[in-house]
Amino acid sequence: MSDLFGTFVSGFCSHIDEVSVSGAPDGPLKGLRFAVKDIIDVEGVVTGCGNPDWFRSHEPAPRHATVVQKLLDAGADLAGKTITEEFAFGLIGENYHYGTPVNPRGEGRIPGGSSSGSASVVACAQVDFALGTDTGGSVRVPASFCGLFGIRPSHGRVSLQGIMPLAPSLDTCGWFTREAALFRWIAPVLMDWSDKPLPTRVLIAEDAFALVGDDVRAALAPAIARVEALYGAAVPIHPSERAGLAGGYPEWQQAMQVTRGSEAAASHLAWMRATDPEMGPYFRERFEAGGAYGPADIVDAMSKRAMIDGYMAGALRDDAILLVPAAPAAAPPARSDEAVYDDLRTRNELYNCTAPLARSPQVSLPMAETADGPIGLGVIAGHGNDEMLLDLAVEVAG
């Protein structure tokens, strides 16, 4: 095993030569510094995807990813690339090859993944903001663990050109900030902005809150009260019982696992089998498991996803938000037993698959602390209502 495994390191990629690109001489983001997850292309730099064999066997990117170019054109300066879990397929943030980025909000605790480095460099105030990607929670969970604002945009709202695919029908590119105003200010640069009204209905997923501990529920209670004071009393709902799937959240989880796993295998398994790269524990196995799903499994998952998507669209429409825990718990200690990590992954996937399966935006708002560290409030809106959530973040932050 690599000597670096589990060692806390800077969130920046130490194996990549210093990356620094100046932005345009003026623009709305002039004077700000940002970093990007190392699955996002930067011209002239190899996109390493968290794996040394991929890094060694690929050529430098011929051009910037669209999101990077937009930020540079808006005046922001690129400060570097950040560590990711291998091929963005992880939730913990420990990279077998390059180490574990620091979580300054929890000494000795994981930063969360797979956008671990991006969350770390923002939380450590090394940059003003950073780009990450979120397929199954890879922005929302690190934002929660590190006490940051984080967004998973609606699927399709932010360009993925020049970003390594994991599961294309679920992949999104989001960002982290320490301040609510900047969190919202970045959005018109990366997406076509259209003003939306703030919510007039608040829903709360009681079945999601039932999956977390008493400490999380107690910590988030004042944050929920703050949202209710602004937008009205929260109406309890149980999405897992209402989408037409008799098995509840475990069926939602199954749809997520098959969709993500089969698409991840289609994206990368052929390369892994052809080159036999060195990979951290359990990573190759995740791609192999995804490759084992057959056509019937995929069709079944697509059917379940359509039911979930339809239910969520009807419940949220264009005027409601749904409250969930942004993560199932505060960040556990680094180098925890695998059983601790498996429990975290399972509980997260049971309910935090909601936004991905429904193609919806979700933000993590840094509004609470437990004895073990920060916990974010998750807020979901209907597909395309990203502006509602970003304006809400500013108002709730006060």
Distance, CA of 19 to CA of 238 (rounded, Å):
47
Active-site residue, 240 included: no
Given a contact cutoff of 8 angstroms between Cβ atoms, the answer to whether 114 and 307 are in contact is no
Distance, CA of 85 to CA of 342 (rounded, Å):
16
Q: Given 10, 120, 138, 144, which residue is catalytic?
A: 138
**Helix or strand (DSSP H, E) at 396:** helix 386-397
Q: Given 70, 81, 114, 262, which residue is catalytic?
A: 114
Given a contact cutoff of 8 angstroms between Cβ atoms, the answer to whether 78 and 19 are in contact is yes
Residues 6+ positions from 172 with CB-CB distance below 8 Å: 133, 134, 135, 139, 152, 153, 154, 155, 157, 158, 160, 356
129-134 and 172-177 beta bridge pairing = antiparallel
**Helix or strand (DSSP H, E) at 376:** strand 373-381
Q: Given 10, 37, 115, 154, which residue is catalytic?
A: 37
Which of 101, 103, 111 is closest to 141 using CA atoms?
Answer: 111
Neighbour tally for 107: CB within 10 Å: 11
Neighbour tally for 82: CB within 10 Å: 30
Neighbour tally for 213: CB within 10 Å: 16
First and final CA of the chain: distance in angstroms? 47
| DSSP of 14-83 | TTS----B---SSSTTTT-EEEEETTB--TTS---TT-HHHHHHSPPPSS--HHHHHHHHTT-EEEEEE-
Distance, CA of 87 to CA of 375 (rounded, Å):
26
Active-site residue, 37 included: yes
Residues 6+ positions from 145 with CB-CB distance below 8 Å: 93, 103, 105, 106, 109, 110, 111, 112, 119, 327, 330, 331, 373, 374
320 phi, psi to nearest 5 deg:
-125, 160
- Active-site positions read 37, 114, 138
